[in-house]
Amino acid sequence: MSTRYTKDHEWIRIDGDAAVIGISNYAQEQLGDVVFVELPAVGKVLKKGDEAAVVESVKAASEVYAPAGGEVIAVNDALADAPETVNAGAEGEGWFARLKLADAAELESLMDEAAYKAFLETV
């Protein structure tokens, strides 16, 4: 499955039997230089739309919401020492957490890449 996006600029991608979440390249551009990322605890159960993380930049602090529900099975610990990774690779190495999805059908309501690019033209 390809990457799916929310209107709040989070992304989610299926990777094996889990899903990886993070913020879009557009979101990191709007934030500016990321200086801190607060990640969820491993084992935390998130519902779709729950606050999953907080990103702080030189400009602002912003909540990151879960694009789908599930249990946090891993977090990107590298962001503690190198939060700028989010700027360098928001949709790659700058991922936030891995979830064991509760309901993969929740992904169907999210935008695919083409729809997200069209959405960005309206913001």
**Structure confidence by residue, pLDDT tens digits, 7-31:** 999 999 998 889 999 999 999 999 9
Map residue 23 onto helix, strand or coil: strand
**Structure confidence by residue, pLDDT tens digits, 48-61:** 999 999 999 999 99
List, in order of start, the domains of the chain with CATH numbers.
Answer: 4-120 (2.40.50.100)
* pTM of full prediction above 0.75: yes
Map residue 45 onto helix, strand or coil: strand
107-113 contacts, C-beta under 8 A, 24 or more apart = 107/1, 107/4, 107/12, 107/14, 107/19, 107/67, 107/68, 110/4, 110/5, 110/6, 110/12, 110/67, 110/68, 111/4, 111/5, 111/6, 111/7, 112/2, 112/3, 112/4, 112/5, 113/2, 113/3, 113/5
